[in-house]
Structure 1
Amino acid sequence: MNAMMRRVVIGTAAVTMALSVAACGKAGDDKAEGGSSSAGSSKNQSIGLLLPDSVTARYEKFDKPLFEAKVKELCAGCTVEYANAAGDSAKQAQQVSTMITKGVKVIVISAKDAKAIKTSVQAAVDKGIKVVAYDRLAEGPVSAYVSFDNKKVGELQGQALLDALGDKAKPSTNVVMINGDDADPNAADFKAGAHSALDGKVKIAYEQSGLWDDNVANQKMTAAITQLKAKNIAGVYSANDAMASGIATALKGAGISGIPVTGQDAELAGIQRIIAGTQSSTVYKAFKPEADAAAQLAVNLLEGKSIDSLATTTLTSGSGDKVPSQLLTPVSVTKANVKDTVIADKLYSVSEICTAEFAKACKAAGIE
């Protein structure tokens, strides 16, 4: 009889312990959904970050580390799975598949090709993964988008070119226009914004895509010089700093100097060209606010929290999807405000900009 009672007590205790373990497991699961750093839930707190290329310096140097740091600040138990498409849209599609296999809960993606990535975005969403479009508005059912006001970027670029031309800005003045990659929806916005500033005030005598590639931009600029002749070119609209590098090389090779060349991204080399006078302006899109905003959106979506206070406007993507969006404000940078923008924000130090090659130009510009 005593033995039987012992078996009943032991059995009851075992059931009680099992129920306790199950209850603890459920509590842990709830914490994982809420962004807890509890061990064993890291698979449910993983965020994928997919960037489009390594040619544009900002992605590896700024966007990636800033995004990772902000995610860690917001969610100690979250992990970031990272991949760079190296300019290959097919590779980026495969990277999305890999992220799905790894079980990430949110994917933040700057699409190499916004249209081509649509199928991959749909595949991720079909698996219950939230997708945040970063810097470029990917097609498909993305949950949120963070970028800058891209038409405003183009307007700033166009106006900076007119300002640099000064009295030479006339309807008969020849300007070369080297746009971004048509596969990037931002490129169309930059182009539209620039045309809104330039059309009717100067003559766009040659316009081509430079594919965001310095070598391609160099080839296009060389072709423009051949077609228009060096003496007939008053200025160049370049959609970003990487292409401005190739354009500057082509201009130098043709013996052209002193004409304005625009840019974008505030790359270190672009800032140095501005100081040296071989590029007239760039557009500074502060990397930290953008990366921070993307991280906050991603963590909120992972934790099931509202993003209404973050994404306060709505944009329509190329696929017709209405996307909650957060748009930041870009800033035009010329030699006159380098100190008040990229240096003041500690994007670059004076020593980084004013290397031996640029020391004299920096001194002349009052940057020491």
Structure 2
Amino acid sequence: MDRKKVIVTGGAGFIGSALVRHLVLEQEAEVVVIDKMTYAANRANILPAEATGRCQLIIADICDQAAMREIVSREAPHQILHLAAESHVDRSISGPRDFIETNVIGTYSMLEAARAFWSGLPAGNTKDTFRFLHVSTDEVYGSLGADGLFHETTPYDPSSPYSSSKAASDHLAKAWFRTYNLPIVVSNCSNNYGPYHFPEKLIPLVILNALEGKTLPVYGDGSNIRDWLYVEDHARALSLIATQGRLGETYNVGGRNERTNLQVVQTICDELDRIAPAEAPRRELIEFVKDRPGHDHRYAIDATKLETELGWKAHENFETGLRKTVQWYLDNQEWWAPLRKSVYGGERLGLNDPQKV
């Protein structure tokens, strides 16, 4: 049997690279990574996969429809796993245009490239088994109250430019399935964490600031709640959904690990104090700062559909996953130190700037 060939857009980013490593190292698939290599992408993230000879990187912009059509046609994949996206809420607040272009126009471009390729396949097994997985976020559902969970049928109610752009892309994917019968599946995940996470996000930012003795900013009173999912568990789920998910369906992926932001920061402090003690407890570095505009209060995923239909289950709980994550950052300073010096040094993002569009 021919080895499975997969295109992964955004494959040099955080979640994308975890998926690439899973596909290449654990499933022995052949993977073509399409990535624009913006600030959040890193070639080092996929070096273990490239070393096998079964992974190649194509540096290209998914908004370039002609290029995407040519690449998809030439590479003739069995699956397209579409993860390329601008994904940081704070950056979407200060500069929404990039989010509209990449997340909406870029998704349209990939859908059309996939449709042109798939439509041209001869009838038979290859055409019948082709899949396009559109990877999205739980933020499209808006904010939960104290009770309840996000289900696949939860109405969309996005709050930020980021989540609005992802909601639009989700609707495009579903429309291409209903209108053109393109074999599409959609996934919506909760907050990811783990190795190779760009240090603008909460968990890596707090780990690195704490290691350097800098203040640990917590928005508002720290009561905002997220459901945390270890990135390698997410990668396994995505591969499973792409292969076995029902066409036209949505699958929510969550870790069942709800924590307030303050609890997350405190847990990181305690874990670092345990394995790399400092002169004073790192909880003393916590500083409450002005809240993010439009900050959703609570996200929580019900992953029952994924668990019961496809048999997926998270391997890591929050404590075990965070322990692995903290240790990875301690062991991989050569990965994050250059980023802190030249790409992002930990400054506050997401402040309203009317000059940026």
| Fold shared per TM-score above 0.5 | no
Bigger relative CO (Cα 8 Å, ≥ 6 apart)? 2
Q: Which one has the bigger helix percentage?
A: 1
Bigger radius of gyration among the two: 1
Place the TM-score, normalised by the shorter chain, in its bin.
Answer: 0.3 to 0.5
TM-score by length of 1: 0.40
